[in-house]
């Protein structure tokens, strides 16, 4: 059983390595910190002050106020090394005066891992999975938007499983129509079983310099670390035909370059792509594809 649990924890570590650089104090439930949404990841994860759709439930719940009525966001990862899987879907809704709400599911894992006994005799295979369930709420206070996410984590390695809870809080301030500030404190008090998920704090700024251009920057500080992580991102969005918009994006995620593109039709249907170089060199690079529906 110890061998199975160790192998499973190693597998989960491989899954979470796609988001942020890992340290000895930062292995617990990495799925909560691996990043979601091809648009955000193509912009280097500099999304604290940009998030304005259902993905805000993950990045900054205060950004849910950008949902006009209904938003469905999803993401799959392709070509991940070590047969890893990483998936995400979120639903956000504008309840009018009652505020904005969202539900998100994020999942990472590896299937069909070889299992052996203490003498390394084969015993078949097992799966290692993490599931995160996020329940988010946001509302407006003049130029200040506020939000909170309650999260539940579930981890299963073969027959061994554990659960835990935590929460995020976020603020988004509209300094001007063209400059937004964002602040989040994520994974506050979050534990999965007995393992503490390190809190992380983000300060972001987004500048919509002129029509079609967005520039964003985040500074992130993870609990128990002395260094800060810098995320930089940019986007150019243009209408190349009536009701057809194309976007190109680029960013830097803790020194790793990211690029991507997107297509939006009639302001309702968006298909986005991101090429991601992972924080850990041995994990290589992979592709993220997102589909978003807005009504």
Tell how far CA 1 is from the center of its chain: 32
Give the span between the Cα atoms of 186 and 188, in whole angstroms: 6
The CA-based dihedral angle spanning residues 158, 12, 109, 289, taken in that order and rounded to the nearest 10 degrees? 180
Torsional sign, CA 218, 64, 274, 262: negative
Q: How many domains does the chain have?
A: 1
What pLDDT score was predicted for residue 194? 86
pLDDT of 21 above 60: no
Task: Check which CATH number belongs to the domain holding 95 and give it.
Answer: 2.40.160.40
Q: What is the mean pLDDT of residues 261-276?
A: 95
Q: What is the mean pLDDT of residues 213-222?
A: 96
What pLDDT score was predicted for residue 261? 98
Q: What share of the chain is helix, strand, coil (3-state, %, to 5)?
A: 15, 60, 25
Tens-digit pLDDT profile for residues 116-163: 777 777 778 778 889 999 999 999 999 999 999 999 999 988 888 899
What pLDDT score was predicted for residue 95? 97
The CA-based dihedral angle spanning residues 64, 288, 22, 184, taken in that order and rounded to the nearest 10 degrees? -10
Q: What is the mean pLDDT of residues 234-249?
A: 95
Q: Which one has a higher pLDDT value, 110 or 145?
A: 145
Any idea which of 87-91, 157-161, 190-194, 220-224 has the lowest mean pLDDT?
157-161
What pLDDT score was predicted for residue 82? 67
Containing structural domain, residue 152: 2-294
Torsional sign, CA 84, 50, 252, 219: negative
What pLDDT score was predicted for residue 23? 36
């Amino acid at each position: 059983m110890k061998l199975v649990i160790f192998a499973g924890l190693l597998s989960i570590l491989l899954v979470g390595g796609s988001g942020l650089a890992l340290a000895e104090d930062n292995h617990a439930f990495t799925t909560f910190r691996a990043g979601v949404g091809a648009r955000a990841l193509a912009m280097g994860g500099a999304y604290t002050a940009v998030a304005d759709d259902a993905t805000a439930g993950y990045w900054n719940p205060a950004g849910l106020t950008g949902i006009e009525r209904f938003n469905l966001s999803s993401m799959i990862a392709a070509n991940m090394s070590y047969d890893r899987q990483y998936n995400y879907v979120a639903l956000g809704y504008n309840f009018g005066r009652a505020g904005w709400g969202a539900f998100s599911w994020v999942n990472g894992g590896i299937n069909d891992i070889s299992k052996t006994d203490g003498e390394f005799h084969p015993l078949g295979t097992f799966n290692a999975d993490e599931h995160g369930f996020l329940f988010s709420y946001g509302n407006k206070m003049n130029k200040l938007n506020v939000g909170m996410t309650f999260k539940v984590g579930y981890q299963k390695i073969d027959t061994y499983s554990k659960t835990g809870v935590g929460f995020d809080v976020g603020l988004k301030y509209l300094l001007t129509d063209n400059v937004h500030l964002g602040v989040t404190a994520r994974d506050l008090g979050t534990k999965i079983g007995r393992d503490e998920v390190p809190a992380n704090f983000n300060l972001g700024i987004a500048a919509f310099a002129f029509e079609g251009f967005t520039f964003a920057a985040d500074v992130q500080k993870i609990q128990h670390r002395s260094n800060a992580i810098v995320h930089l991102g940019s986007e150019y969005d243009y209408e190349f035909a009536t009701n057809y918009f194309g976007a190109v994006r680029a960013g830097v995620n803790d020194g790793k370059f990211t690029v991507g593109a997107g297509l939006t039709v009639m302001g309702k249907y968006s298909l986005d792509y991101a090429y991601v170089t992972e924080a850990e060199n041995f994990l290589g690079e992979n592709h993220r594809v997102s589909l978003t529906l807005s009504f």
